[in-house]
Amino acid sequence: MRKIIHVDMDAFFASVEELDNPEVRGKAVIVGGGIEGRGVVSSASYEARKYGVKSAMPISRARKLCPHGIFLEVRMERYIEISIQLMRLLKDFTPLVEPVSVDEAFLDVTDIARDFAEAVEIGKQVKKKIKAETGLTASVGVATNKFLAKLASGLKKPDGFVVITDEEKENILKDLPVSEILGVGKVTEKALHAMGISTIGQLWPIPQEELVERFGKLGRVLYYLSRGIDNSPVVTVWEPKSVARSCTFERDIKDLRVIRRQLYDLTEDVVKQLKEMNLRAKTITIKVRYSNFRTITRSITIDTPTDLLSAVWHYADMLLREKVELKDRAIRLIGVSLSSLVQAPSVEQLHLFEEEMRSEEIATIPKGME
């Protein structure tokens, strides 16, 4: 039987802002990108959430719901700094730590806790140490698998501590909404409601075969997770699938020079991240959202993985110019992502042409964007 702890920081970005700016502590703090324009909410304090403000909500909507709120720009470098401190702290308890995001992680304490009661005690120590060393609160869940531990950490936010034992899991699960099951989004939830299923317990009488027939592989997930069964391990080493950046313009843009300039800046960012991770990419994808909110993506996969800004920009720009309908169309959002990632070789013999390209990486704005 595994002993899993799930740590989820409370309103992380907003809480860091309160930590660094005591004068806003206890107030309706809303953190987002493009707070003066058409950005979205990244994090909201629990005081702001009382007014209906949620993550991923347009800033304009948040301002209407909470006009007295304190709106702050995202400071990602600062949040990552705290996140690194958090992950190091967690590894003081066990090397088996799986970061899920900058503010969330699983710990597997199976081998260091003699029994489940000791795992609960470790969970309490983790929560206490996070508060002492970062000044921030975390909600912590302890259970016999990852699904239940994550579920537990979210039941009594903020600053919660919940334990789910195998003996208690059915009683806890039965009346929770099906949306609490990992993988159940709005579409699946609607389909389940159409079947007359709104709570997890109502899934139990449905045979696995019927769920698989209706939902494919997700049906098997629904069958097992609804019963609190999850055999997925804590993964300490993982390979990123993609790196991406996007930007929502302050106003809808038709000017190709402005659009290209923003795309170039985003491409610089993703290539920089790619190099920092010592990776190369084969697939370049751009995303465009028009003023009517229609969103399209266009991709190209090249034969040789690259981390060259000049190469990535060439294909991103080509996709924009040749594969996206721009004539008389205003654009709301532009983005670029790199995928099909491979590890860059540590020692390599570069062809003369590639050496020349590396020595001539674009240092100035490409023509047409001045």
Contacts 24+ apart (CB under 8 A), 47-50: 48/14, 49/11
The pair of structure tokens assigned to 68 is 């007295």
DSSP string, 286-315: EEEEETT--EEEEEEEEEEEE--HHHHHHH
> Under the phi-then-psi rule, with left for phi > 0, alpha for psi from -120 to 50, and beta for the rest, what region is 280?
beta
Q: Spell out the residues 6+ positions from residue 98 whose beta carbon is closer than 8 angstroms to its own.
A: 105, 106, 107, 108, 234, 235, 236, 238
Pairing of strands 279-290, 161-163: unpaired
Please state which of the ranges 15-24, 177-186, 204-213, 235-244 shows the lowest mean pLDDT. Answer: 235-244
How is the chain split into domains, by residue range? 12-76, 170-225, 242-359
- Give the pLDDT confidence score for residue 300 in this predicted structure: 96
pLDDT score, position 241: 85
Q: What is 242-359's CATH number?
A: 3.30.1490.100
**Cβ neighbours for 195, distance < 8 A, ≥ 6 positions apart:** 206, 214
Region 356-369: what's the mean pLDDT? 46
- Report, as an integer, the average pLDDT of 129-156: 97
How far is Cα 349 from Cα 77, in angstroms, rounded to an integer? Answer: 35
What number of other Cβ atoms are within 10 A of residue 103's Cβ? 22
Whether the CB-CB separation of 279 and 240 falls below 8 Å is answered with: yes
Please compute the mean of the pLDDT values over residues 232-251 and round it to a whole number.
Answer: 85
pLDDT at site 361: 44
The residue that leads in pLDDT, 215 or 276, is: 215
Please state, in angstroms and rounded to a whole number, the distance separating the CA atoms of residues 209 and 220. Answer: 8
From CA 271, how far away is CA 365, in angstroms rounded?
16
Q: How many CB atoms lie within 10 A of CB 157?
A: 16
**φ and ψ of 84, to 5 deg:** -60, -40
The token pair at 179 is 């949306």
State the pLDDT at residue 77. Answer: 87
**Structure confidence at residue 293 as a pLDDT band (50, 70, 90):** confident
Cα separation, 227 vs 146, whole angstroms:
13
Query: DSSP state, 74?
Result: -
**Averaged pLDDT, 58-69:** 94
Per-residue pLDDT, 35: 67
Instruction: Give 346's pLDDT tier (boundaries 50, 70, 90).
Output: low
- Of 8-17, 125-134, 200-209, 286-295, the range with the lowest mean pLDDT is 286-295
Name the residue among 172, 153, 171, 150 with its Cα closest to residue 162: 153
pLDDT at 19 over 90: yes
Mean per-residue pLDDT for 38-60?
92
Per-position b or e across 26-39, b if 16+ CB within 10 A of its CB: ebbbbbbbbbeebb
The whole-number pLDDT of residue 366 equals: 57
**Over 50: is that where the pLDDT of 233 sits?**
yes
Under 8 Å CB-to-CB from 91, ≥6 apart: which residues?
A: 97
The pLDDT score that the predictor gives to residue 348 is: 44
Q: Are 30 and 66 in contact (CB under 8 A)?
A: yes
Is 170-225 assigned to CATH 1.10.150.20? yes
Average pLDDT of every residue of the chain = 90
Question: Which one of 17, 18, 98, 104 is the catalytic residue?
Answer: 104
Q: According to the model, what pLDDT value does residue 240 have?
A: 77
Residue 353 predicted with pLDDT over 50: no
Query: For residue 262, how far is the Cα from the chain centroid?
Result: 23
Which residues, at least 6 apart from 119, have a Cβ–Cβ distance to it below 8 Å? 3, 5, 109, 110, 113, 142
Average pLDDT over residues 76-85: 92
Please state, in angstroms and rounded to a whole number, the distance separating the CA atoms of residues 160 and 17.
Answer: 21
For the chain, the 3-state helix, strand and coil shares in percent, each to the nearest 5, are: 40, 25, 35
φ, ψ at 140 (rounded to 5°): -125, 135
- Residue at 305: amino acid letter: P
104 labelled catalytic: yes
Q: Which range is least confidently modeled, 211-225, 289-303, 340-354?
A: 340-354
For residue 369, the model assigns a pLDDT of 57
* Entry pTM: 0.72
**Residue 255 phi, psi (nearest 5):** -70, 115
CATH number for the region 12-76 comes to 3.40.1170.60
